Amino acid sequence: MHAAFATSHNPARIRWNEKYSQRGLDSLRDSPSNWLVKHEELLRAQAKGWALDLACGNGRNAIYLARLGFTVEALDLSDVAISWLAKKVRTQQLAVHPKLRDLESATLPAARYQIILNFNYLQRSLFEQISDALSPSGVLIFETMTRDHIEVLGREFNSKYLLDHNELLHAFSDLRVLHYRETVIIDKASEKPKAVASLVARKK
């Protein structure tokens, strides 16, 4: 099934595969996101079980969670990234399960995950499924760019993939929001400023 998927003509997959092949996944920053590390105390206190990293890329955040004791499903559209990550976690014997998935057509299982991560990826049609996929007391940690990336920082970006002000806050208002911010951070990969919204929220 995955081989057939890998040869399909999915423009986003082709674009990301090209990006990862050109740069080489070994050269990408592998330190986890600051917003995730900032909440390590909460993560350590959380019941251990399944975690999910959506659009995992090189798996830097999935690996961080596995090292804290979670068993992580790491999903991404790019077979280049998924194959690279599969080899890495096998060699290092980490509890990360990389899976090739197009999230545009994926169905997340209900009430399964203690932790869900969504970093640097925006697919609004997933929001409801993300809430449903959290187990009771499960925690969502989310960070991606806002429209301030264009409006304040003057950067070029497809506005379709930028959050509106307060959008993330309202999108997960069925959860208990523990932390929320809209700010400018320095992107670890490019070392350039990036306008983001960041959220930590717990299933009631």
Ligand X SMILES: C[S@@+](CC[C@H](N)C(=O)[O-])C[C@H]1O[C@@H](n2cnc3c(N)ncnc32)[C@H](O)[C@@H]1O
User: To the nearest whole angstrom, how small is the minimum distance from the Cβ of residue 136 to ligand X?
Assistant: 25
Instruction: Report which of 117, 128, 109, 136 is spatially closest to residue 204, judged by C-alpha positions.
Output: 136
Nearest to ligand X of 19, 44 (CB atom): 19
Count of residues in the chain: 204
Of 5, 69, 99, 102, the one binding ligand X (CB under 6 A) is: 102
Nearest to ligand X of 37, 47 (CB atom): 37
CA distance 111 to 130: 9
Query: How close are the terminal C-alpha atoms of the chain, in Å?
Result: 36
Asked if 163 and 147 count as a contact pair (C-beta separation under 8 A), the reply is yes
User: To the nearest whole angstrom, how small is the minimum distance from the Cβ of residue 102 to ligand X?
Assistant: 5
x/- contact string, 44-83, with ligand X (CB under 6 A)?
Answer: -----------xxx--x---------------xxx--x--
Q: Report CA-CA distances (Å) from 65 to 56, 108, 117, 180, 202.
A: 12, 19, 10, 21, 17
Binding-site size, ligand X (CB under 6 A): 17
Of 103, 116, 130, 175, the one binding ligand X (CB under 6 A) is: 103
User: To the nearest whole angstrom, how small is the minimum distance from the Cβ of residue 2 to ligand X?
Assistant: 13
Asked if 100 and 6 count as a contact pair (C-beta separation under 8 A), the reply is yes
Nearest to ligand X of 18, 174 (CB atom): 18
**Site residues for ligand X per CB under 6 A:** 12, 16, 55-57, 60, 76-78, 81, 101-104, 119-121
